[in-house]
Structure 1
């Protein structure tokens, strides 16, 4: 069994159709591979899960400029954390006949897109991923974390992660010099800020080794 199959089995075990809905979080630093892992787990489940990323709650560039935060895009206060928590709360309590529409994030535009992800009321498992799910700061620790049944931390070699981030920025139109400066200045500041979240995770997924390491120091088995 591959580690993705193992994770899918763990995610699915209590998430049966007709049972209570669960929300699984996948956290980690920028460029760790959270989106890829979340997509792989949902794909392996083949039906009973929907992916709702935190990135849909990025503030729009115009609002970041108004707030003077455009140069820190991606930092915790450049997201609508309370809006994200409100969506998670709504997703936890589905109503028959009510489809919830969640926002997505369009990387080509680098902007959130409202109403892009439909979540039907009979879906038993929501998978959400983002940098700040285990951040020990309000409102993430008080408004977001209590709504997640379990949170996994994605671990990967930092050098690999940084080069992956630089390549991503270049792929979406940034110059190599701008991409490297942005990653080392902004993305890495955010990576250092979230690093302690690893110790609060329920499961650590080591992407370098391709296996689970078990719970973080403060995680639950």
Structure 2
């Protein structure tokens, strides 16, 4: 993403960050699209007026995925606590004066969610939440869109996205061959679920 495109997106996000109000901006897209990178750059560009709350903080723990028999498709819609994510979004939309809300994060080195890792102060006007299924229209995920003021859909070049995703898995400990198998079997299956959400986005962003 070049500097001019990023500056335009920061300006659009700044329009949502109205002091004294609380807005929620969603950033959706397939695995490896660059959602967390963009969310972080937006928050940095807004100089304290925004905080990032990742959907990935609601991954079910590895032990629970193994108990449910879903560990081999981690990242699918039913491998998250979707009800918990919905409850947090509702709470974030209506901040209580003087009450800091603590959201979970996801540690890619541990491949586990971390409770209470992201403080959201009530005075922060904009929450940026990013994840695969913000525009998914099945099951509990279908209720997410109504809790977001605006949603952007990231749509990078397919080949570069897949290569970036493989590289990320390698950085966090997978052998290259295992990373490729996981991406083409699991991540790309999830990408196909995410794709129809593009039509429901307020803005489609081509980051590179």
Superposition TM-score, scaled by structure 1 size: 0.91
Alignment partner, residue 71 of structure 2: 70
Tell me, in whole angstroms, the C-alpha distance in 2 between the residues paired with 1:171 and 1:60: 21
SS at match of 2:114: strand
Aligned-pair CA distance for 1:14: 3.6
Q: Deviations over 1:119-150 (max 9, x none)?
A: 001000000000000111121112x1110001
Alignment partner, residue 114 of structure 1: 115
Please tell me the root mean square deviation across aligned C-alpha atoms, in Å: 0.9
Higher helix share goes to which structure? Answer: 2
SS at match of 1:2: helix
**Structure 1 residues not aligned, in runs of 5+:** 209-221
Aligned-pair CA distance for 1:73: 0.2
Aligned-pair CA distance for 1:7: 1.1
SS at match of 1:94: coil
Matched, 1:13 2:15: yes
Matched, 1:184 2:184: yes
Alignment partner, residue 162 of structure 2: 162
Alignment partner, residue 171 of structure 1: 171
Alignment partner, residue 218 of structure 1: none
**Structure 2 residues not aligned, in runs of 5+:** none
SS at match of 2:152: strand
SS at match of 1:65: helix
Tell me, in whole angstroms, the C-alpha distance in 2 between the residues paired with 1:9 and 1:160: 27
Alignment partner, residue 46 of structure 2: 45
- Any conservation in 1 of the 2:56–2:131 contact (CA below 8 Å)? yes
Aligned ranges 1:5-154 → 2 under 5 Å: 5-18=7-20, 20-142=21-143, 144-154=144-154
Superposition TM-score, scaled by structure 2 size: 0.97
The number of residues matched between the two structures is 206
- Structure 1 segments (4+ residues) deviating >6 Å: none
Higher relative contact order (CA 8 A, sep 6+): 2
Alignment partner, residue 200 of structure 1: 200
SS at match of 1:123: coil
